């Protein structure tokens, strides 16, 4: 309920991602301890005024003074230390020319992503990849298909792409059924490529990770596909052209 209230107040749709049908968010399975100092108490008390049942998954220092960064049902919010004001948005660090991110939130995202086994991902990787990105994808989304057309160029640029399933119309959709068929194919890479070119998906079923990956994507706050994450947990946006993506990853690598 809180997610829908926030969406009504602050809703925005990425121009380079296909929008997700709203759905309840599953409980986090790799939550970080929520900080318990006096400032965090102010924040928790303030949020409970909006919804008494609200349980933040993460509260930590924001990347700028005077605020706490809060993760609620996968949504990143910023609340003033006195608990009076709430903001939602993507802060930009003018000095670093990049999205402002906190070490605590990045570590939280890393922990969540690490719970998804590598063997359950569909991986397109060059030899000796310099960078690895995790991409929550949908087979119907136009921008997902555009990104997949860039796979060869991404690989030439030393970028490995690890796909995770995120059927944006929900787990009861035909899209989700088709994605299960892709993940159950004997050659998942070929099946995913065929599906993204609009070819019919032969029906298959098996023990598969589609629901787990989708639910974790919701915990990360994904509301559209593709959703690209760097290895350190930074969300890089929706569709990003290969040259721009490489430049961003190189810059991030050089700043460490």
pLDDT at 31: 45
Q: Are strands 235-237 and 75-80 parallel, antiparallel or unpaired?
A: unpaired
Average pLDDT score over residue span 48-75 = 89
pLDDT at 101: 82
Q: Helix, strand, or coil here: 230? A: strand
CB 87 within 8 A of CB 47: no
Residue with the larger pLDDT of the pair 171 and 55: 171
Average pLDDT score over residue span 240-256 = 88
Residue with the larger pLDDT of the pair 66 and 255: 66
For residue 26, pLDDT beyond 70:
no
Residues labelled catalytic: 138, 141, 144, 168
| Residue 8 binned pLDDT confidence (cut-offs 50, 70, 90) | very low
For residue 163, pLDDT beyond 90:
yes
């Amino acid at each position: 309920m809180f997610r829908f209230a926030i969406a009504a107040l602050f809703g925005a749709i990425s121009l380079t991602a296909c929008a997700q049908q709203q759905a309840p968010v599953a409980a986090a399975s790799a939550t970080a301890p929520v900080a318990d100092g006096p400032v965090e108490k102010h924040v928790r008390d303030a949020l409970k005024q909006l919804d008494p049942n609200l349980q933040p998954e993460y509260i930590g220092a924001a990347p700028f003074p005077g605020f706490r960064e809060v993760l609620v049902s996968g949504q990143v919010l910023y609340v003033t230390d006195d608990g009076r004001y709430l903001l939602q948005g993507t802060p930009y660090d003018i000095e670093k020319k990049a999205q402002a991110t906190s070490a605590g939130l990045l570590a939280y995202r890393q922990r969540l992503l690490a719970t998804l086994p590598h063997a359950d991902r569909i991986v397109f990787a060059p030899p000796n990849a310099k960078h690895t990105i995790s991409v929550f994808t949908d087979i119907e989304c136009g921008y997902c298909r555009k990104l997949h057309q860039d796979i060869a160029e991404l690989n030439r640029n030393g970028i490995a792409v690890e796909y995770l399933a995120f059927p944006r119309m929900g787990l009861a959709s035909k899209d989700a059924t088709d994605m299960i068929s892709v993940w159950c194919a004997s050659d998942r890479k070929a099946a995913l490529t065929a599906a993204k070119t609009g070819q019919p998906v032969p029906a298959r079923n098996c023990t598969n990770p589609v629901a787990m990956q989708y639910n974790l994507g919701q915990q990360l706050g994904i509301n559209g596909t593709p959703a690209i994450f760097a290895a350190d947990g930074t969300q890089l946006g929706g569709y990003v052209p290969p040259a721009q993506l490489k430049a961003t990853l190189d810059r991030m690598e050089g700043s460490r």
